[in-house]
A = this chain, B = another copy of it.
Amino acid sequence: MSFSPLIRQLVEALRGLPGVGQKTAQRMALHLLERDRSGGLRLSEALSRAMQHVGYCQQCRTLSEDPVCALCADPRRDDQLLCVVQSPVDVFAVEQTGFRGRYFVLKGHLSPLDGLGPEAIGIPELLARIGEGGFAEVILATNPTVEGEATAHYIAQTLADRDIVISRIAHGVPLGGELELVDGGTLAHALAGRKPISLR
Contact assessment for B51 and A41 in the assembled complex, using a CB-CB cutoff below 8 Å: yes
State which size class the interface on A falls in.
35 or more
- CB of A114 within 8 Å of the partner chain: no
Give the contacts of A31-70 with B (CB-CB under 8 A): 31-34, 36-37, 39-54, 62-66, 69-70
Contact assessment for B4 and A66 in the assembled complex, using a CB-CB cutoff below 8 Å: yes
Distance in angstroms from A147 CB to nearest chain B CB is: 17
The answer for the CA separation of A36 and B70 in the assembled complex, in Å, is 24
**Chain B contacts of A27 at CB under 8 A?**
18-19, 89, 180
Q: When A7-B63, A26-B89, A30-B63 are in contact, do A47 and B47 touch as well, CB less than 8 Å?
A: yes
**Chain B contacts of A16 at CB under 8 A?**
32, 36, 39-40, 42-43
- CB of A137 within 8 Å of the partner chain: no
- The interface residues of chain A, by DSSP majority, are classed as helix
- CB of A13 within 8 Å of the partner chain: yes
Distance in angstroms from A162 CB to nearest chain B CB is: 27
- CB of A17 within 8 Å of the partner chain: yes
Distance in angstroms from A44 CB to nearest chain B CB is: 4
- CB of A88 within 8 Å of the partner chain: yes
Q: Choose one: B33, B45, B47, B65; the contact of A4 (CB below 8 Å).
A: B65
- CB of A6 within 8 Å of the partner chain: yes
Contact assessment for A44 and B40 in the assembled complex, using a CB-CB cutoff below 8 Å: no
The answer for the CA separation of A47 and B29 in the assembled complex, in Å, is 9
